[in-house]
Amino acid sequence: MRVGCPKEIKNHEYRVGLTPGSVREYVAHGHEVLVETGAGAGIGADDNAYRAAGAQIAKTAEEVFTRSDMIVKVKEPQPKEWAQLREGQILYTYLHLAPDPEQTKGLLASGVTAVAYETVTDERGGLPLLAPMSEVAGRLAIQAGATALQKAYGGRGVLLGGVPGVLPGKVAVIGGGVVGLHAARMAAGLGADVSIIDRSIPRLRQLDDLFAGRVHTRYSTVEALEEECFSADLIIGAVLIPGAAAPKLVSREMLSGMKKGAVLVDVAIDQGGCFETSHATTHADPTYEVDGIIHYCVANMPGAVPVTSAHALNNATLQYGLALADRGLKALADEPHLRNGLNVHRGRITSRPVAEALGYEMTEAKSALAA
Instruction: Please tell me whether residue 270 binds ligand PYR under the rule CB under 6 A.
Output: yes
Alpha helix stretches (DSSP H) within the chain: 20-28, 47-52, 61-67, 79-82, 101-110, 131-148, 178-190, 201-211, 222-231, 252-255, 306-327, 329-334, 336-339, 352-358, 365-370
Instruction: Please tell me whether residue 181 binds Mg ion under the rule CB under 5 A.
Output: no
- Residue 342, classed as helix, strand or coil, is strand
Please tell me whether 300 is known to bind a ligand. Answer: yes
Q: How many Å apart are CA 277 and CA 254, to the nearest integer?
A: 10
- Residue 235, classed as helix, strand or coil, is strand
Q: How many Å apart are CA 117 and CA 134, to the nearest integer?
A: 12
- Residue 259, classed as helix, strand or coil, is coil
Q: 247 touches which of ligand NAI, ligand PYR, Mg ion, none (CB within 5 to 8 A by kind)?
A: ligand NAI
C-beta separation of 196 from 218 below 8 A: yes
- The number of angstroms, rounded, from the C-alpha of 17 to the middle of its chain's C-alpha atoms is 14
Is 96 tagged catalytic? yes
Q: How many Å apart are CA 20 and CA 41, to the nearest integer?
A: 12
Please tell me whether 35 is known to bind a ligand. Answer: no
Q: Which stretch binds ligand NAI (CB under 6 A): 15-23, 28-36, 269-277, 285-293?
A: 269-277
Binders of ligand PYR among 4-33, rule CB under 6 A? none
Binders of Mg ion among 91-110, rule CB under 5 A? 96
Q: How near is the Cβ of 96 to ligand PYR at its closest, in Å? A: 6
Binders of ligand NAI among 290-309, rule CB under 6 A? 299-302
Is 100 tagged catalytic? no
Q: How many Å apart are CA 267 and CA 249, to the nearest integer?
A: 13
Instruction: Please tell me whether residue 94 binds ligand PYR under the rule CB under 6 A.
Output: yes
Count residues binding Mg ion (CB under 5 A): 2
Q: 267 touches which of ligand NAI, ligand PYR, Mg ion, none (CB within 5 to 8 A by kind)?
A: ligand NAI
Q: Which stretch binds ligand NAI (CB under 6 A): 67-75, 194-202, 305-313, 352-360?
A: 194-202
Q: Which of 31, 96, 295, 345 is catalytic?
A: 96
Please tell me whether 362 is known to bind a ligand. Answer: no
- Residue 301, classed as helix, strand or coil, is helix
Q: How near is the Cβ of 161 to ligand NAI at its closest, in Å? A: 24
Q: How near is the Cβ of 299 to ligand PYR at its closest, in Å? A: 6
Q: How many Å apart are CA 341 and CA 365, to the nearest integer?
A: 9
Burial of 47 (0-12, 13-18, 19+ CB in 10 A): middle
Count residues binding ligand NAI (CB under 6 A): 34
Instruction: Please tell me whether residue 76 binds ligand NAI under the rule CB under 6 A.
Output: no
Instruction: Please tell me whether residue 173 binds ligand NAI under the rule CB under 6 A.
Output: no
Instruction: Please tell me whether residue 273 binds ligand NAI under the rule CB under 6 A.
Output: no
Q: Which stretch binds Mg ion (CB under 5 A): 55-63, 137-145, 298-306, 350-358?
A: 298-306
User: At a CB cut-off of 8 Å and minimum separation 6, what does 100 contact?
Assistant: 76
Burial of 335 (0-12, 13-18, 19+ CB in 10 A): middle
User: At a CB cut-off of 8 Å and minimum separation 6, what does 319 contact?
Assistant: none
Instruction: Please tell me whether residue 250 binds Mg ion under the rule CB under 5 A.
Output: no
Please tell me whether 239 is known to bind a ligand. Answer: yes
Rule CB under 6 A: choose which of 1, 116, 197, 234 binds ligand NAI. Answer: 197
* 123: number of Cβ within 10 Å: 8
116 - beta bridge partners? 93
Q: Which residues bind ligand PYR (CB under 6 A)?
A: 75, 94, 130, 133, 270, 300, 302
Binding-site sequence positions for substrate: 15, 75
Query: Which positions are catalytic?
Result: 96, 270
Q: Which residues bind ligand NAI (CB under 6 A)?
A: 118, 130, 133-134, 137, 174-180, 197-200, 203, 220, 238-241, 246-247, 249, 267-271, 299-302
Q: Which residues bind Mg ion (CB under 5 A)?
A: 96, 299
